[in-house]
Amino acid sequence: MATRSRNLLSRLGPNELLAAGKQTLLPLIGILVFLGFWHLAAPQVQTSLGAFPGPAQVWEQAGQLWQEHANQRERASQFIAMQEQRNARILADNPEAEVRIRSYPGAPTFIDQIGTSLVTVLSGFALATLIAVPLGIVFGLNRYFQAAVNPLIQIFKPVSPLAWLPLVTMVVSATYVSDDPMFQKSFLTSMITVTLCSLWPTLINTSVGVAAVNPDLLNVSKVLKLSFWTHVRKVVLPSSVPMIFTGLRVSLGIAWMVLIAAEMLAQSPGLGKFVWDEFQNGSSQSLSRIMVAVLAIGFIGFLLDRVMLLIQKKVAWNE
């Protein structure tokens, strides 16, 4: 491995090495400067809960949150094991007895809240994509239809999630009535709010990308008398993929931001609720824990964008 790395470095010229060094060092320098400024400025900011937490306090709380999660998982494993042992004894005495294993009743940990938020945002984003991409293709192929619905898009596009949330909450409460629901109402409320706020960039970019397809390709499609679905699959989509994925990346970023606000206001499980609960808690550790959540939200948002970029490159390469 070391020999391969040395051979690779030997093949790079001075300019390539300089460019690679800049790509590595400059972000590292920026992060170190930020951490230094944060470390020096934090003690100067006094709040009702004490001084604003610095990097060391936030790192300490991040470790504590992880330890709390590990302890919770251990207790959950013990809880399940105890039930399995009890059920084994019951079945030994009565093989026809009905037994069941209940889930661990403990409160969700910080890591659990991250998982819940990711499931919710990806569900809302997937639903938004399923709505926005087909509609965007239709709008892009028919300029009259696009002109008819464009005012509605411009009206609903800037609506805040704070305005959508009460409406969605009431609609879900009125229509989703079941004795044994498949999904929790809080999950549906957050997911639909995410969908309503995040579908617009994908819808607009898809329609613009479809409308900008090379006219020569459209003429070839007409000459070959391709069916509508073949025309879309072979001509429209390959040409509009870059614009579609640009809209998807923007939509996913909006979806992640909207979700945190929706969870905070709706008190549905997730990172938004974690931040609100810590704010209401008002302990000496609350600010540090909130900063852990803030950094986690930012880092996850960055990772989601990188994943979308990788998918875009993969799809474009296959095309």
Q: For the segment 213-272, what is each residue's pLDDT rounded down to a tens digit?
A: 877 777 777 777 777 788 777 888 888 888 899 999 999 999 999 998 888 888 888 899
Q: Does residue 27 lie in a domain region? A: no
Q: For the segment 122-140, what is each residue's pLDDT rounded down to a tens digit?
A: 999 999 999 999 999 888 8
The domain boundary residue, chosen from 66, 85, 106:
106
Q: For the segment 158-187, what is each residue's pLDDT rounded down to a tens digit?
A: 888 888 888 998 998 888 887 777 788 888
CATH number at residue 312: 1.10.3720.10
Q: Note whether 76 and 167 are same-domain residues.
A: no
The domain boundary residue, chosen from 90, 106, 122:
106
- Containing structural domain, residue 64: 53-106
Q: Does residue 21 lie in a domain region? A: no
Tokens for 88? 């084994």
Q: Note whether 87 and 197 are same-domain residues.
A: no
Q: For the segment 187-220, what is each residue's pLDDT rounded down to a tens digit?
A: 889 999 999 999 999 999 999 888 888 777 777 7
Q: Note whether 126 and 198 are same-domain residues.
A: yes
Q: Note whether 66 and 121 are same-domain residues.
A: no
The domain boundary residue, chosen from 106, 127, 144:
106
CA-nearest of 86, 76, 154, 130 to 251 is: 130
Q: Note whether 87 and 224 are same-domain residues.
A: no
Q: Does residue 238 lie in a domain region? A: yes
CA-nearest of 199, 195, 210, 200 to 138 is: 210
What dihedral angle (degrees, nearest 10) is formed by the CA atoms of 247, 127, 175, 173?
Answer: -70
Q: Note whether 83 and 186 are same-domain residues.
A: no
Q: Note whether 156 and 73 are same-domain residues.
A: no
Q: Note whether 296 and 153 are same-domain residues.
A: yes
Q: Does residue 246 lie in a domain region? A: yes
Which alpha helices (DSSP H) does 212-236 contain, by range?
A: 215-224, 228-231
User: With the C-alpha atoms ordered 14, 18, 21, 23, is the resulting torsion angle positive or negative?
Assistant: negative
Q: What whole-number percentage of the chain has pLDDT above 90?
A: 30
Q: Note whether 251 and 102 are same-domain residues.
A: no
Q: Note whether 222 and 290 are same-domain residues.
A: yes
Q: How many domains does the chain have?
A: 2
